[in-house]
């Protein structure tokens, strides 16, 4: 397909501004083009590179050591160590004309030194052996029952039951702590893939420089320290399900590769050239609004629509308070057994738990119940055993207890201000929703010791 001069100029500018090195060589291997990234990565002027073959650069000392392989008609990956100390990873493939003759070679040029350092620091993360993966699998499959019988939870269970046995991609959204992981595990357990692995990948927890190797794996010799090939977590999940947790945190450059994997059902390890078939079901979870991220340019629109085949939105706990008693009893039993005690909830304490707003959702409720089991002095957990953040509710609701109105007002203000500060990103935004001046809210925060 012919490309107009304007588009040719645009393509050249795009390649020049790329962070990844880009080389072109003639059929004899002599380099005739290198973009600015090649110089930035290697520390060697493009003037010293363009016009030479790799062998000539080795002869004059630009390249100290390289893996010598002959590039013919198949793609090839080699590594080079330069006089600047940089270690370079090059993947090349030939370009053919209409008659099948090679007209040039195109190469991607990457620096490995920083990755090598991170690899040493995080070797435990990358060196996941088979037994560890088996333990991880067993641990992930020991999921809790899906607790709750509110109207919204029942509707959610009904929707999940319809899609769990399909192969459709699910995008699970909701605030932090609402139970996205529990629902993902439940979907896997009732799916036809339940006998396969369930691999959870937290896209916000893996360093960006390691994420490609962690997800896709790498071949032997791909970089220093890669003494043997390692499968990535996506490959390990073959036959099972993958939860891409906090998908909104995935770097844009890897979003492109993930989209390609989802569409092609194939994966290529770092340093490899042969695609491997992938048989996994993708689940994605996020506590962020991906549509807003798309509008901001922080998430690819094509990946968003590929993931959002069936959206599942989990309501926060404050919108399904009917679930709180059963959840409380579940966690109470769990931690009573863990700590070998026999704790019970008083009716007043349970009522107070139901009236609290739970900004941290189910995770906060579980942590609270563990705290109560450990710290309460009596078998029956009372109102005064509840955490400080519930103090305002406790004192206003205790039967027969009278407190000064000024104290009551301060406690109520403290709780509302703390809730607004948690829910909104700034004091100014919190003040807007509390319908007070920004300066007034700042003074109250200082006065109430928030």
Average pLDDT over residues 334-343: 93
Q: What gap in Å lies between CA 345 and CA 364, rounded to an integer?
A: 17
Higher pLDDT, 319 or 71: 319
Average pLDDT over residues 298-323: 93
Q: Looking at 95-242, list the stretches that DSSP marks H as alpha helix, in order from N- to C-terminal side.
A: 113-121, 123-126, 130-141, 151-163, 180-190, 208-216, 233-236
Residue 123 above 50 pLDDT? yes
Q: Which of 11-20, 22-31, 145-154, 210-219 has the highest mean pLDDT?
A: 22-31
Q: How confident is the model at residue 143 (pLDDT cuts 50, 70, 90)?
A: very low
Residue 281 above 90 pLDDT? yes
Does the predicted TM-score (pTM) go above 0.85? Answer: no
Residue 303 above 90 pLDDT? yes
Nearest alpha carbon to residue 312 among 152, 160, 149, 147: 160
What's residue 75's pLDDT? 73
Which residue is it, tokens 């201000």?
417
pLDDT in tens, 412-427: 888 888 888 878 767 7
Residue 327 above 90 pLDDT? yes
Average pLDDT over residues 247-269: 90
CA 14 to chain centre: 28
For residues 280 and 236, the answer to whether their CB atoms sit within 8 Å is: no
What's residue 396's pLDDT? 44
Q: How confident is the model at residue 395 (pLDDT cuts 50, 70, 90)?
A: very low
SS3 of residue 269 by DSSP: coil
CATH 3.40.50.920 for domain 5-111, yes or no, is no
Residue 3 above 70 pLDDT? no
Poorest-pLDDT segment among 32-36, 106-110, 196-200 = 106-110
Q: Within 10 A of 131 (CB to CB), how many other CB atoms are there?
A: 8
Q: Within 10 A of 223 (CB to CB), how many other CB atoms are there?
A: 19
Between the alpha carbon of residue 134 and those of residues 124, 137, 140, 228, 349, the distances in Å are: 16, 5, 10, 20, 41
Q: How confident is the model at residue 225 (pLDDT cuts 50, 70, 90)?
A: low
SS3 of residue 272 by DSSP: coil
Q: What number of residues does the chain have?
A: 450
| Sheet with 76-82, side-by-side order of all strands | 31-34, 21-25, 102-111, 87-96, 76-82, 63-66
Average pLDDT over residues 105-123: 67
Q: Which CATH architecture has domain 319-447?
A: Orthogonal Bundle (1.10)
Name the CATH superfamily housing domain 127-313. Answer: P-loop containing nucleotide triphosphate hydrolases (3.40.50.300)
Q: Indicate left, alpha or beta for 247 from its phi (over 0: left) and psi (-120 to 50: alpha).
A: alpha
Q: What is the mean pLDDT of the chain?
A: 82
What's residue 115's pLDDT? 55
Q: What gap in Å lies between CA 424 and CA 30, rounded to an integer?
A: 58
Poorest-pLDDT segment among 21-30, 63-72, 159-168 = 63-72
Q: Please report, for the chain, the start and end positions of each structural domain, with discontinuous segments joined by +.
A: 5-111, 127-313, 319-447
What's residue 433's pLDDT? 85
DSSP 8-class letter at 44: S
Higher pLDDT, 172 or 431: 172
Average pLDDT over residues 286-297: 91
């Amino acid at each position: 397909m012919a490309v107009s001069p304007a588009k040719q100029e645009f393509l050249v500018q795009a390649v020049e501004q790329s962070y990844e090195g880009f080389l072109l060589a003639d059929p004899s291997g002599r380099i005739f083009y290198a973009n600015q990234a090649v110089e930035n990565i290697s520390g060697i002027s493009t003037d010293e590179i363009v016009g030479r073959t790799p062998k000539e650069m080795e002869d004059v000392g630009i390249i100290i050591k390289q893996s010598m392989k002959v590039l013919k008609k198949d793609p090839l990956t080699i590594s080079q160590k330069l006089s600047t100390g940089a270690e370079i990873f090059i993947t090349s493939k030939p370009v053919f004309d209409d008659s099948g003759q090679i007209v040039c070679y195109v190469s991607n040029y990457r620096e490995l030194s920083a990755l090598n350092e991170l690899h040493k620091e995080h070797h435990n993360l990358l060196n996941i052996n088979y037994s560890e993966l088996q333990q991880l699998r067993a641990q992930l499959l020991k999921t809790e029952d899906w607790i709750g019988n509110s109207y919204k939870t029942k509707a959610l269970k009904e929707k999940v039951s319809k899609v769990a046995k399909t192969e459709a991609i699910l995008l699970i959204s909701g605030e932090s702590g609402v139970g996205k992981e529990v629902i993902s595990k439940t979907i896997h357990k009732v799916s036809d893939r339940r006998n396969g692995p369930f691999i959870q990948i937290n896209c916000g927890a893996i360093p960006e420089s390691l994420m490609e190797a962690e997800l896709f794996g790498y071949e032997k010799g791909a970089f220093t320290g890669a003494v043997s090939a390692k499968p990535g977590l996506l490959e390990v999940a073959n036959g099972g399900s993958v939860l891409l947790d906090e998908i909104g945190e995935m770097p844009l450059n890897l979003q492109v590769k993930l989209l390609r994997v989802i569409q092609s059902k194939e994966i290529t390890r770092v340093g490899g050239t042969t695609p491997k078939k992938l048989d996994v079901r993708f689940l994605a979870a996020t506590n962020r609004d991906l549509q807003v991220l798309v509008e901001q340019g922080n998430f690819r629109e094509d990946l968003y629509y590929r993931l959002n085949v069936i959206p599942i939105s989990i309501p926060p706990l404050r919108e399904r308070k009917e679930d709180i008693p059963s959840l409380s009893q579940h966690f109470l039993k769990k931690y009573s057994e863990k700590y070998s005690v026999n704790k019970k909830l008083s009716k007043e304490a349970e009522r107070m738990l139901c009236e609290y707003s739970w900004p941290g959702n189910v995770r906060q409720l579980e942590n609270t119940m563990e705290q109560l089991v450990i710290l309460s002095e009596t078998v029956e957990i009372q109102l005064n055993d509840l955490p400080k953040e519930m103090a305002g509710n406790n004192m206003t609701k205790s039967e027969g207890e009278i407190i000064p109105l000024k104290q009551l007002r301060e406690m109520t203000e403290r709780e509302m201000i703390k809730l607004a500060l948690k829910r909104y990103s700034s004091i100014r935004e919190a003040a807007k929703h509390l319908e007070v001046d920004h300066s007034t809210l700042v003074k109250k925060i200082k006065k109430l010791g928030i």
